[in-house]
């Protein structure tokens, strides 16, 4: 099938490469010319496991091509996917300018029938708006084309985007148009093992709301566990035991129950905010989501609060080694990363930081800029040298089994602040290092 994809970001690029691998003829467009020129030469604009090889294979096979030319992209595909960014402002208003710009472009350039699919995360009613913009452009130039607009939200996670694309838990097709449903069903066929379980066809509005409801549920689970972690700390219980205890119940399930330094990334916070805003505006206050947000806001300061306690308030002049800056492992994405809150709070308190991340250093450096109170380190080991204590913010595989004896030697006053509960407190302490986790009673603030 011929497919056009607008947006070569974390989602668009991963999706394009996977469709090309499955044998579709994919043209991926982006408004960022430098990004497209790089991609045409095989240069990756982002870090995503397995993606570079997949893009290279698609380019070599000729099944994956890139363009910055809107018209060419509008004419290429039988199906056209809108996968551009949909940021939300501080209150939760979603900016649909990029989505509508693509819709208008298709309306201006398209010369034959098409299925247009909104894959960007966008509020309920966006597919209706896309349809209105498209029809407006078509009627302005007197064109009469059969165009169907579908909503097809994406559920992949950064860090496992390729895996998630190849084997999605489910594909949600929001359309009541049999032509669009049939075309999308065929397009996704290579990724679907069990259509009755994985393929969900529904109306557009339900599909749009499904995306927000999914992210809101995931965020709620995390904030719930972070609240439980606080309780565990005061009660002398260990949240890791509680997590296993409840996760074993099939009705609850083991995933997304990890207490930690708070959720970050480009989606959870943005989508919770957008859903809460839309519901408030319609007079259906989603009180639970306000609590989810407030808890996450506080959680991002949790490591700093533990350090304040450890240093009895005297953080000024201390040097903190920070392992992990990206919002989660296996990505270079710094959007809404909890590390940023920790760094800001440490700097405001007069501390210095020595930071290391396996992939996010360039993005973090670009975001933060050069300053006297940060040292950008080339290795995890270098970040430790001469630091007072260590904070683990992102649980990259390379941080999971460190040499604790080496850490004890490198740190001036050995202590680990484990923002992702990856270490065994007893093992850390037996190396002569003080241990602070999230919600782990043994090392609680009160004990
Ligand atoms: N990142 C994720 O894990 C994820 C997962 C599921 C859904 N989503 C949703 O998917 C959408 C894309 O997210 P992302 O993380 O890939 O964003 P991104 O910022 O990484 O990429 C978006 C790309 O779209 C391009 N773009 C903007 N306007 C354009 C236009 N008019 N024509 C062509 N290209 C244009 C930008 O230059 C950018 O390269 C968002 O709505 C997001 O909420 C993201
Ligand atoms: O038990 C958990 C799981 C995750 N996190 C944190 O939550 C954030 C988000 O993680 P994750 O959801 O794995 O990454 P994303 O790539 O942001 O993916 C989410 O957002 C995407 C964009 O909408 C959706 O497509 C995905 O389904 C949804 O998981 C990260 O900071 C994680 O550290 C926790 O604190 N505890």
Whether the predicted pLDDT of 411 surpasses 60? yes
| Pairing mode, strands 64-67 and 25-29 | parallel
Q: pLDDT band for position 442 (50/70/90)?
A: low
Residue 336 phi, psi (nearest 5): 60, 30
* Structure-derived torsion over alpha carbons of residues 130, 80, 122, 97, reported in degrees to the nearest 10: -60
What six digits make up the tokens of 179? 């032509």
Q: Cβ(387)–Cβ(321) under 8 Å?
A: yes
For ligand 2, atom 5, the nearest C-alpha belongs to 263
Q: Check pLDDT > 50 for residue 9.
A: yes
Distance of CA 442 to CAs 244, 292, 424, 437, 439, Å?
17, 26, 11, 9, 9
CA distances from residue 38 to 33, 34, 52 in whole angstroms, order as listed: 9, 6, 12
Does 441 sit in the ligand 2 pocket, CB within 6 Å? no
Burial class (CB in 10 A: 0-12, 13-18, 19+), 280: middle
Query: Mean pLDDT in the chain?
Result: 97
Closest ligand to C-alpha of residue 86 is 1
DSSP secondary structure letters along 16-85: HHHHHHTT-EEEEE-S-HHHHHHHHTT--SS--TTHHHHHHHHHHHTSEEEE--HHHHHHH-SEEEE---
What tokens does 326 get?
Answer: 């990206």
Nearest CA to 354 out of 378, 383, 381, 326 is that of 383
- What is the residue-wise DSSP string for 88-105? B-TT--B--HHHHHHHHH
Q: Are 417 and 306 in contact (CB under 8 A)?
A: yes
Alpha helices (H) in 236-284, listed in sequence order = 239-247, 268-281
| Mean pLDDT in residue range 179-193 | 97
Residue 398 has pLDDT above 70, yes or no: yes
Q: Are 27 and 4 in contact (CB under 8 A)?
A: yes
pLDDT at 104: 98
Active site residues: 267
Pocket residue to mutate for ligand 1, from 7, 122, 169, most atoms within 8 A of Cβ = 7
Report CA-CA distances (Å) from 175 to 53, 127, 170, 171, 358: 33, 10, 16, 12, 41
Instruction: Give, in degrees to the nearest 5, the angle at Cα 344 between 416 and 293.
Output: 90
CA distance 288 to 49: 35
CB of 267 closer than 6 A to ligand 2?
A: yes
pLDDT tens profile 34-45? 999 999 999 999
* Cα 244 to Cα 257: distance, rounded to the nearest angstrom: 9
Ligand whose nearest atom lies closest to the CA of 85: 1
CB-hemisphere CA count at 13 Å for 313?
0
pLDDT at site 447 = 40
Spatial CB neighbours of 335, under 8 Å, sequence gap ≥ 6: 264, 265, 266, 327
The two domains 2-201 and 203-447 share their CATH topology (first three levels equal): yes
Q: 90 pLDDT exceeds 50?
A: yes
User: With respect to CATH, is domain 203-447 assigned 3.30.460.10?
Assistant: no
CATH 3.30.300.90 for domain 2-201, yes or no, is no
- For atom 8 of ligand 2, the residue with the nearest CA is 263
Distance CA 331, CA 333 (A): 5
Question: Stretch 412-417: mean pLDDT, rounded?
Answer: 98
Mean pLDDT of 88-98: 97
Domain boundaries, the chain: 2-201, 203-447
Rounded to the nearest angstrom, the distance between the alpha carbon of 413 and the centre of ligand 1 is 44
Atom of ligand 2 nearest to the CA of 10: 16
168 lines ligand 2 (CB under 6 A): no
Largest CA distance in the chain: 77
Residue 252 has what DSSP assignment?
Answer: T
Structure-block tokens of residue 332? 């270079």
pLDDT tier, 368 (very low <50, low <70, confident <90, very high otherwise): very high
- What is the residue whose two structure tokens read 């680990």? 416
Write the CA distances from 35 to 9, 32, 45, 152, 223, integer angstroms.
Answer: 9, 5, 6, 25, 36
Mean pLDDT of 62-87: 98
pLDDT exceeds cutoff 50 at 445: no
> 3-state DSSP call for residue 437?
coil
Question: For residue 266, what is the enclosing H or E element?
Answer: none
Taking residue 373's Cβ as centre, other Cβ atoms within 10 Å add up to: 12
- Quick one: which atom of ligand 2 is closest to the CA of 161? 16
pLDDT at 441: 79
Atom of ligand 1 nearest to the CA of 45: 39
Task: Compute the distance between CA of residue 353 and CA of residue 319 in angstroms, rounded to an integer.
Answer: 5
Residues 191-208: pLDDT tens digits?
Answer: 999 999 999 999 999 999
pLDDT at 328 over 80: yes
- Say how many Å lie between the CA of residue 436 and the centre of ligand 2: 23
The reported pLDDT for the residue numbered 446 is 40
Task: Give residues (CB < 6 A) around ligand 1.
Answer: 6-12, 29-32, 35, 83-86, 98, 101-102, 120-121, 154, 156-158, 266-267
Number of Cβ atoms within 10 Å of the Cβ of 91: 11
Q: Would the CB of 155 count as within 6 Å of ligand 2?
A: yes
Q: For 97-101, what is the mean pLDDT?
A: 98
Q: Report how far ligand 1's centroid is from the alpha carbon of 121 (Å).
A: 9
Interface pTM (ipTM) of the complex? 0.99
Prediction pTM value: 0.97
Q: Is the pLDDT of residue 443 over 60?
A: no
């Amino acid at each position: 099938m011929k497919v056009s994809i607008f947006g070569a970001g974390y989602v668009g690029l991963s999706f394009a490469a996977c469709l090309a691998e499955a044998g579709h003829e994919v043209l991926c467009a982006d408004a960022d010319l430098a990004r497209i020129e790089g991609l045409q030469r095989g240069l990756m604009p982002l870090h995503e496991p397995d993606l570079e090889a997949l893009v290279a294979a698609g380019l070599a096979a000729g099944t994956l091509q890139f363009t910055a030319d809107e018209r060419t992209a509008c004419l290429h595909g039988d199906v056209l996917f809108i996968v551009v960014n949909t940021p939300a402002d501080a209150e939760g208003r979603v900016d649909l300018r990029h989505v509508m710009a693509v819709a208008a472009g298709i309306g201006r350039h398209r010369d034959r029938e098409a299925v247009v699919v909104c894959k960007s995360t966008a509020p309920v009613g966006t597919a209706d708006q896309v349809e209105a913009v498209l029809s407006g452009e078509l009627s302005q130039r007197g064109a009469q084309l059969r165009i169907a607009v579908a909503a097809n939200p994406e559920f992949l996670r950064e860090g496992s985007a390729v895996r998630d694309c190849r084997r999605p838990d489910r594909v949600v097709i929001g359309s009541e148009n049999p032509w669009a449903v049939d075309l999308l069903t065929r397009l996704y066929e290579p990724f679907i093992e069990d259509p009755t379980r994985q393929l969900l066809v529904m109306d557009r509005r339900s599909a749009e709301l499904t995306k927000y409801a999914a992210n809101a549920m995931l965020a709620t689970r995390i904030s719930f566990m972070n609240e439980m972690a606080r309780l565990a700390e005061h009660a002398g219980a260990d949240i890791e035991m509680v997590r296993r205890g409840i996760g074993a119940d099939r009705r609850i399930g083991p995933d997304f129950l990890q207490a930690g330094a708070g959720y970050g990334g480009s989606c959870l916070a943005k989508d919770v905010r957008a859903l809460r805003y839309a519901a408030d505006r319609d007079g259906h206050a989603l009180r639970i989501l306000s609590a989810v947000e407030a808890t996450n806001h506080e959680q991002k300061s949790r490591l700093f609060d533990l350090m304040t306690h450890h240093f009895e308030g005297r953080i000024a002049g201390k040097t903190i080694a920070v392992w992990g800056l990206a919002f989660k492992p296996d990505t270079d994405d710094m959007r809404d990363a909890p590390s940023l809150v920790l760094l800001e709070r440490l700097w405001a308190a007069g501390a210095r930081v020595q930071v290391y991340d396996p992939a996010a250093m360039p993005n973090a450096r670009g975001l933060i800029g050069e300053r006297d109170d940060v040292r950008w380190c080339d290795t995890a080991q270098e970040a430790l040298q001469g630091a007072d204590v260590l904070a683990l913010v992102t649980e990259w595989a390379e941080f999971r089994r460190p040499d604790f004896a080496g850490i004890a030697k490198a740190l001036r006053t050995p202590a680990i602040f484990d923002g992702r509960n990856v270490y065994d407190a007893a093992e850390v302490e037996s190396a002569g290092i003080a241990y602070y986790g999230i919600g782990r009673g043994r090392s609680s603030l009160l004990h």
